[in-house]
Amino acid sequence: MNSSKVLDRRLVVVGAILIQLCLGAIYAWSVFTKQLTLPLVDGGYGFSAQQAAWVFSAGLATFALFTIIGGRLQKKYTPKLIAAVGGIVLGLGYMLAGFFGSTFVAQLILIGIVGGAGIGLAYVVPIAVGVKWFPDKKGMITGLAVAGFGFGATLWVKLAGSWFGGLLNTTEVFGLPGVQSVFFIYGVAFAALVLLGSLVMVNPPEGWQPAGWQPPLEAGTAATGAVEYTNKQMLKTPQYYMLWLMFIGSGLAGLMVIYCIRLFGIDALQSSGVAADYKIAGIMAGTAMAWYAIFNGLGRIAWGTISDKMGRKPALVLMCLLQGIIMLLFFKMGQSEMGLVIGACIIGFNFGGNFALFPAATADYFGNKNVGTNYGWVFTAYGIAGIAGPQVAGWFKDAAVGGDVGAWWTPFVIAAVSCFIAAGIGLMLKPVKRA
């Protein structure tokens, strides 16, 4: 079928990035944690570090669970519809949290569960649609399709924390305090932008393929894309469980740092004497957080493109190894402003690679046709990592005396070991045999 008679596939990339910019707001959670954990008498919400982590973890776990549901629904109905529904659910969760999110339970339900469900419904759509439009560049397109998720965190962090004075400091929508005002504003923006991006979330016509590209020749393994597995078939293979465990190990480190980079940065910079007080340290940590988000987005594009050239397995192993090494170094690096930023950039870059490499690997090993539903099952690993990473860090932080920076060393070592285990599993990956 002539590609000139159908939708310009570049529009799919634009729509995907627009959607993911909004979904990536969950990675901006650190911008709220300091105010949430301040005592009520100081104008905060009185949350413990673990409670703040639980809102984030609930969002990640619900997000991961609903990728399975979103993957099935976009196949049963249409990708456009499911992306739109996801945007509406996400927007409503944040808007309602603006009005009613003054307590831990309310934020857990509205931001964590309702918001996470909206993200999960919409998230898999750009990936599934993109792989079908770009079978010739699966690594690159999965990276581009989810790059907005990483870049979005920078946008929402800076808007809340510093741009134009910072929405947290300058807004009182309907008389609501800063955190809740930002929730409401973001909810309106998320619903509107995801609805706009959903307009181009359509699958190519049956039989369409890029001009000048031919599908890979039939082969005895699914690693060439010659075999199409359903999720039931995939769940019977060891390769699925190996990819799943690798995603947990690698994802745990990045999600731990997303949750704690502001809290860790404040403790480390004050302990080393680089920052005179927590406000100055908070500004420095906020800068590192923004750079983390930028490199998170860049890593999705770069690792996806690299994997198209060097192969998915070598790229996965290399990414996990590098992440393990930097996690061992991050505790020391974080005690200087430049070290904190550099460490955040490298961790964010590698973490972003997960979201290009694992969907592309899912398509490689189990086929393009069912990647929407299959990747939903692989992505449940992200939910496990989303609970484990932040909760480990939050537990050690709460158990520490005062602002003892030493509390962060053990969780970072745990994250490093998980990455090394993931790399070891990757070395044992073999192509799926033809059913």
Q: What number is the average pLDDT over the span 231-254?
A: 92
Q: Per residue in 17-32, is it b (16+ CB within 10 Å) or e — as a string?
A: bbbbbbbbbbbbbbbb
Task: Indicate whether 276 belongs to any domain.
Answer: yes
Find the range with the poorest average confidence among 3-7, 193-197, 335-339: 3-7
pLDDT of residue 108: 93
Distance of alpha carbon 64 from its chain centroid, rounded? 10
Q: What is the pLDDT of residues 299-315, one digit of tens each?
A: 988 998 888 888 889 99
Distance CA 406, CA 331 (A): 9
Q: What is the pLDDT of residues 215-226, one digit of tens each?
A: 665 444 444 456
| Percent of the residues in the chain that have a pLDDT greater than 70, as a whole number | 93
Phi, psi of 275 (to 5 degrees): -115, 135
Distance CA 131, CA 332 (A): 40
Task: Indicate whether 1 belongs to any domain.
Answer: no
pLDDT of residue 430: 86
Q: What is the pLDDT of residues 243-253, one digit of tens each?
A: 999 999 999 99
Neighbours of 261 (CB within 10 A): 26
Task: Indicate whether 321 belongs to any domain.
Answer: yes
Q: What is the pLDDT of residues 15-37, one digit of tens each?
A: 988 998 899 888 788 788 878 88
Residue 4's pLDDT band, with cuts at 50, 70 and 90, is: very low
Residues contacting residue 194 through CB under 8 Å, at least 6 positions apart: 18, 19, 22, 23, 83, 84, 86, 87, 88, 90, 91, 122
CA dihedral 27, 405, 344, 169 (to 10 degrees): 50
Q: What number is the average pLDDT over the span 155-167?
A: 79
pLDDT of residue 176: 83
Give the tokens for residue 55.
């809102």
pLDDT of residue 364: 84
Task: Indicate whether 134 belongs to any domain.
Answer: yes
Q: Is the pLDDT of residue 165 over 80?
A: no
Q: What is the pLDDT of residues 95-145, one digit of tens each?
A: 999 999 888 999 999 999 999 999 999 988 988 888 788 877 767 777 777
Q: Is the pLDDT of residue 434 over 70?
A: no
Q: Per residue in 74-102, is it b (16+ CB within 10 Å) or e — as a string?
A: bbeebbbebbbbbbbbbbbbbbbbbbebe
Q: Is the pLDDT of residue 211 over 70?
A: yes
pLDDT of residue 343: 94
Query: How many structural domains comprise the chain?
Result: 1
pLDDT of residue 1: 46
pLDDT of residue 199: 93
Task: Indicate whether 33 belongs to any domain.
Answer: yes
Q: What is the pLDDT of residues 348-400, one digit of tens each?
A: 999 999 988 998 888 888 887 777 788 888 988 988 898 888 888 888 877 76
pLDDT of residue 88: 96
Radius of gyration of the CA atoms of the chain, in A: 21
Show the domain range for 227: 8-207+221-427
Q: Is the pLDDT of residue 269 over 60?
A: yes
Q: What is the pLDDT of residues 137-148, one digit of tens each?
A: 767 777 777 777
Distance CA 424, CA 320 (A): 9
Q: Is the pLDDT of residue 405 over 90?
A: no
Residue 2's pLDDT band, with cuts at 50, 70 and 90, is: very low
Task: Indicate whether 213 belongs to any domain.
Answer: no
Task: Indicate whether 105 belongs to any domain.
Answer: yes
Domain harbouring 367, CATH code: 1.20.1250.20
Only one residue has tokens 């480190």, namely 253
Phi, psi of 31 (to 5 degrees): -65, -20
Distance CA 148, CA 300 (A): 9
Task: Indicate whether 44 belongs to any domain.
Answer: yes
Residue 5's pLDDT band, with cuts at 50, 70 and 90, is: low
